[in-house]
Amino acid sequence: MVREWTWGVRLAVVGVLLAMPTIVWPAWQLTFPGQPEFELSVWTWGRLEIRPGGPGGADSPELRMAAVPLVVHVLILFLASAATGVGMVRRGRHSQKLGLAGTAAGFVLVAKGVTERTAEAAHWGPGDGPSAPEVTTLPAGLGENAALVVLTGALVLLLGRSAVRVATPLWRQLSVRARADRDAEDAVGRGTGLGAGGIIVHGVRPVDSTPPHVSSPDEGVPFSDLPPDDDRFWPPKQA
């Protein structure tokens, strides 16, 4: 457990650090090669930079941003880095909880950014023709992708042993219950002469459902869906 925790929290620190560049640099870019009217750069936390004239345009870029998303993004990243750092250098239950919380917070933030960027890329492209828009993942976005992979591995190491301890008793309980239900069905089938799930349709007994006290399906109490035959009764009925 100590070994998995050590490697897990180290991976968590690396993953959070890989996501740090998204604070400063854009994660992806949208351009129109055939008609370079503008170039759009997008940050993970919501900042937009629109440069008229396409790449290398002389016009000054137009910025669109909000302060609250930036503050939340920076705060979560720095708190996650601090929490995972404490979990790496210190031992104890509280440090482990802090490191796990920091890893989970970083994972949620990075997964949100990657998911939104993937959805935007699927919306804009790929397209056909020379004027089709091109979506380019920038270095900060590539670092965010790597951070998602690393943080996923960190969570697996940090929670893997605990998840197994929780899932094993539950799996055993479900297996025992399923076995008990199956044995009960088999017992009912043996007692009635019908296998588990056996039924009689239109007065015809299944071939494999002969009662245990009858040597063959032809013996026992006859039954049929046909109307009664008067010649079977003795003495015969009086006219």
Average pLDDT over the chain, rounded to whole?
76
- DSSP letter for each residue of 8-75: HHHHHHHHHHHHGGGGTS-SEEEE-SSS-SEEEEE-TTS-EEEEETSTT-SSPPEEE--HHHHHHHHH
**Structural tokens at position 71:** 């503050």
> pLDDT at position 120, please?
86
Residue 130 has pLDDT above 70, yes or no: no
> pLDDT at position 201, please?
47
Q: Which of 121, 88, 123 is nearest to 6 (CA)?
A: 88
Looking at 134-143, 171-180, 218-227, which range is the least confident one? Answer: 218-227
**pLDDT tens sequence across 33-89:** 766 667 888 999 988 888 776 555 555 667 787 889 999 999 999 999 999 988 888
Confidence category of residue 96, pLDDT binned at 50, 70, 90: confident
**pLDDT tens sequence across 30-41:** 887 766 667 888
The model's pTM is 0.64
Q: Which of 30, 25, 62, 61 is nearest to 44 (CA)?
A: 25
Higher pLDDT, 131 or 98: 98
> pLDDT at position 215, please?
53
110-115: long-range contacts, CB 8 A cutoff, minimum separation 24: 110/15, 110/19, 110/144, 110/147, 110/148, 110/151, 111/148, 113/19, 113/22, 113/27, 113/44, 113/45, 113/144, 114/144, 114/145, 114/148
- DSSP letter for each residue of 135-175: EEE-HHHHHHHHHHHHHHHHHHHHHHHHHHHHHHHHHHHHH
Q: Answer whether 212's CB lies under 8 Å from 194's CB.
A: no
Higher pLDDT, 188 or 112: 112
Exposed e or buried b per residue across 154-188, where buried means at least 16 C-beta atoms within 10 angstroms of its C-beta: bbebbbeeeeeeeeeeeeeeeeeeeeeeeeeeeee
